[in-house]
Amino acid sequence: MSIHVEQAIIHAITQNKEGQLSCRLRPQPLLNGTAVEAMVDELHQTYSSKAGKGFGFFGVNGDDGEANPAFKDALQSYLSNELGFVEFSASAGKLLQEELSKYDFSQGGFLLLALYQHMATDYLFVALLNAKSSMTVLDDMELTQNDHLDLANLQLAARIDLTEWQRDSESRKYISFVRGRAGRKVADFFLDFMGCVEGINAKQQSKQLMQAVEDYVAEGDLTKDERQECRNRVFEYCQEQVETGIDVQLKDLADELAESGMESFYDFAVQGEYELEENFPADKSTLRQLKKFSGTGGGVSLSFDSTHLGERVIYDPVSDTILIKGVPANLKDQLDRRLKSN
């Protein structure tokens, strides 16, 4: 496995018939080392592959939303050996119960806290997991129903990069979190319970990077193929950073483009009005536009490689039309059959 679990524990937050929430605390860490390692490894991979994560930091009184410092204080007490892991987790469980009690929509769940290492980095993973029913066939071929943790459906989860937080307390991105399906608002209560406020916006930084790249290649004396090669290098570098969980480094990215013979991309980016951080987490879905155009609306979906623009795909902004030369074979077959039936 790619991770090493130091500590892990689960507490249950349940709701009674009157709708009141209570937190049932586990008195000791999870003991089954093999099962715990497998579970945390699966959650790590599932979480890392989640697109569009948000990034933030522990707020203090006076920040937006007047962040509650209780979770941060308890975590600091654990890291300084003033609290045990079980005591810290119990404090977190009670804080989450109190936060959930402010809302009508909550049904509770299982609060998982896992402290683990991956690639020489210490993380604290925090998630509110739900149970999911499934059917099992017993030895006598009889069916039985049981519940299991729904590890694949991570909707309320955050990961704290403890190494970065302890190394750079001024960082604004050492906490990452899953954005809800309808945007950040869905997960507000989960971030509030941890006292997390949003810091660096990965999507916005990626948009700014993409604009900087487009301006950069436009200023150079490059052919169409050379411009696209620059875009491809940027995308491939950022994709590798996302897959390994490492931030984009502007200076390293500039090195990837150094062979173009143009002005240093680093100098170009920092001197422009792009407001790019020296390093930031990339949003792969945004940067994919360097290689592919896509859009959906009004019952129409369209996607094509950016290399086709101006050749197989002709866009006329004045008439608001797109001309496609060489219709894909499977689409052509569908259209031909429909024309014949009409």
Of 198, 231, 262, the residue at which a domain comes to its end is 198
Contact present, 207 and 280 (Cβ < 8 Å): no
Burial of 258 (0-12, 13-18, 19+ CB in 10 A): exposed
- 75 and 189 both lie in a single domain: yes
Whole-angstrom distance, CA of residue 38 vs CA of residue 41 = 5
Walk along the chain (342 residues) and give the pLDDT tens digit of each residue. Answer: 589 999 999 999 988 877 788 889 999 999 988 999 999 999 999 998 888 888 999 987 544 446 789 999 999 999 999 999 999 999 999 999 988 888 776 678 899 999 999 988 999 999 999 888 788 888 888 888 887 888 888 888 999 999 999 999 889 999 999 876 544 455 688 889 999 998 888 889 999 999 999 999 888 778 888 888 889 999 999 988 888 778 899 999 988 888 766 778 898 888 888 889 998 998 888 888 888 888 888 888 898 888 888 889 899 899 999 999 888 889 888 988 888 887
Q: Which amino acid is at 112?
A: L
Cα(196)–Cα(70) distance, rounded to whole angstroms? Answer: 11
> Are 112 and 158 contained in the same domain?
yes
* Residues 333 and 239 reside in one and the same domain: no
Residue 294, helix vs strand vs coil: strand
Where b means 16+ CB within 10 Å and e means fewer, 34-54 reads eebbebbbebbebbbeeeebb
86 and 188 co-located in one domain: yes
* Strands annotated E in the chain: 3-15, 21-24, 54-58, 109-118, 121-129, 131-137, 143-149, 157-161, 175-177, 196-198, 248-249, 279-280, 292-297, 300-305, 313-316, 321-324
Which of 154, 172, 198 delimits the end of a domain? Answer: 198
Q: Is-contact 13 41, C-beta < 8 A?
A: no
- Looking at residue 183, its pLDDT comes to 47
**177 lies in the same domain as 206:** no
- Tell me, yes or no, whether 178 and 225 share the same domain: no
Handedness of CA 268, 269, 272, 278 (dihedral sign): negative
Pairing of strands 3-15, 109-118: antiparallel
- Which two three-digit tokens encode residue 119? 């690639």
Q: Of 290, 310, 325, which residue constitutes the final position of a domain?
A: 290
- Supply the range of the domain harboring residue 312: 292-341
The answer to whether the beta carbons of residues 261 and 219 sit under 8 Å apart is no
Report d(CA 133, CA 92) in Å as an integer.
27
User: What phi, psi does 185 have (nearest 5°)?
Assistant: -55, -30
**Contact (Cβ atoms closer than 8 angstroms) between residue 200 and residue 55:** yes
Domain count, the chain: 3
Burial of 259 (0-12, 13-18, 19+ CB in 10 A): exposed
Q: How far apart are CA 238 and CA 249, in angstroms?
A: 9
- φ, ψ of residue 124 to 5 degrees: the values are -115, 115
Distance CA 192, CA 189 (A): 5
Ordered DSSP codes for 130-174: -EEEEEEE-TTS-EEEEEEE-TT---SEEEEEHHHHHH-TT-S-S
My answer on whether 194 and 206 are in the same domain is no
Task: Give dist(CA 264, CA 212) in Å, integer.
Answer: 12
Closest CA to 161 of 146, 172, 150, 147: 172
The CB density around residue 169, as the number of other CB atoms within 10 Å, is: 10
Residues 147 and 189 in one domain: yes
Statement to judge: residues 75 and 179 lie in one domain: yes
Residues 158, 233, single domain; the answer is no
Asked if residue 168 and residue 134 are part of one domain, the reply reads yes
Do 14 and 135 sit in the same domain of this protein?
yes
